[in-house]
Amino acid sequence: MTATPELTSFGDRFEERLREAAIADSPFVTEAATHVISAGGKRFRPLLVALSSQFGGDVDEERLMDAALVMEITHVASLYHDDVMDEADLRRAAPSANARWGNLVAILVGDYLFSRASSIVAGLGVEYVALQAATFTRLVQGQVAETIGPDDETDPLEHYLQVIADKTGSLIAASALFGAMVSGADQSVLDALAAYGEELGLVFQLSDDLIDITSNQTGKTPGTDLREGVATLPTLLLARSDDPGDAELLELLDSDLSCDERLAEALEALRAHPVIDEARAEVNRRAELAKSHLAPLRDGEAKDMLLALCDELVNRSV
């Protein structure tokens, strides 16, 4: 996707403001809070805020910037906590905050960043605060549900889809809504962008989980979900298989994968299994569904870019 000059200039100012927003009273907190921000990132959520702001009326640039900052800072804050939960060593090809400074610092710096996002959202107005709070509720509930796993009455695949809707779809949908709200868009636009954002969020996390298995270029350790015992679409599809030929792989996936050789063996076998293509087909199907929610929106560059985001997620390898 080629960015317009306006988007490129917004992106440059955004980077500056993002760093400024993380500055703390203590140089140590500033260093730890800018650590993940400086390591890069796709800035997917601020891009979505900016594109979604093109479907209403006049946009106040400062409010648009603040809306984009709230979404990215909340996302980054959640990554500090997520890497503690996943015991991850790498984030954005750099040592994770927990690997560098330990769990206690990583958790508190995540809290610090969330406080910075809360302070910015307060300036936007009560309806933004309410959406931000509802999103935080879903993020946390999604993470807890992932951690405890499905109960006996719940289908594991249904459980997984609810988890990813809450832990990822919620913030991506909120990003689309924040942009539309800043532009004073009418309710039909808000509804379309919310539905698009929820589905796009599912596509984002489905593809993220898929490349946790298939890619060595994510800047994260491949196979983290397998090692942590977190079931994702390919392993859930495999678990449904009644082919006796799959028993050995299922047993391997169920075993202790803390040893690097066993994890590599599991990754290699899973990468060669047809469930990977089945999972890809599901990502594709849902990406088309996300696109269909954009039908009521006015045609133009912003809509084309929102459509292109769906294709990029289907084809992503990082």
The nearer residue to Mg ion, 83 or 198, going by C-beta atoms, is 83
Give the interface with ligand FPP as residue ranges (CB under 6 A): 74, 77-78, 81-82, 86, 110, 114, 136, 139-140, 143, 167-168, 208, 212, 220
What's the CA gap between 31 and 273, in Å, rounded? 43
- Which of Mg ion, ligand FPP, none does residue 220 bind to, with CB < 5 to 8 Å depending on kind? ligand FPP
- Using an 8 Å Cβ cutoff, are 182 and 53 in contact? yes
DSSP 3-state of 222: coil
Q: Which of 181, 195, 164, 174 is nearest to 279 (CA)?
A: 164
The nearer residue to ligand FPP, 167 or 286, going by C-beta atoms, is 167
- Which of Mg ion, ligand FPP, none does residue 66 bind to, with CB < 5 to 8 Å depending on kind? none
The nearer residue to ligand FPP, 54 or 98, going by C-beta atoms, is 98
The 3-class SS string of 45-92 reads HHHHHHHHHHHCCCCCHHHHHHHHHHHHHHHHHHHHHHHHHCCCCEEC
The nearer residue to ligand FPP, 4 or 115, going by C-beta atoms, is 115
The nearer residue to ligand FPP, 17 or 81, going by C-beta atoms, is 81
Give the interface with Mg ion as residue ranges (CB under 5 A): 82, 86
Alpha-carbon 272 to chain mean position: 26
- Which of ligand FPP, Mg ion, none does residue 139 bind to, with CB < 5 to 8 Å depending on kind? ligand FPP
Please state the closest distance from residue 205 (CB atom) to ligand FPP, in A: 7
- Which of Mg ion, ligand FPP, none does residue 55 bind to, with CB < 5 to 8 Å depending on kind? none
Please state the closest distance from residue 299 (CB atom) to Mg ion, in A: 37
The 3-class SS string of 172-213 reads HHHHHHHHHHHCCCCHHHHHHHHHHHHHHHHHHHHHHHHHHH
Please state the closest distance from residue 143 (CB atom) to ligand FPP, in A: 4
Residue 119: Cβ within 10 Å count = 12
Please state the closest distance from residue 144 (CB atom) to Mg ion, in A: 15
- What's the token pair of residue 122? 């307060």
Which residues contact residue 129 at a Cβ distance below 8 angstroms, ignoring those fewer than 6 apart? 118, 121, 122
The nearer residue to ligand FPP, 188 or 315, going by C-beta atoms, is 315
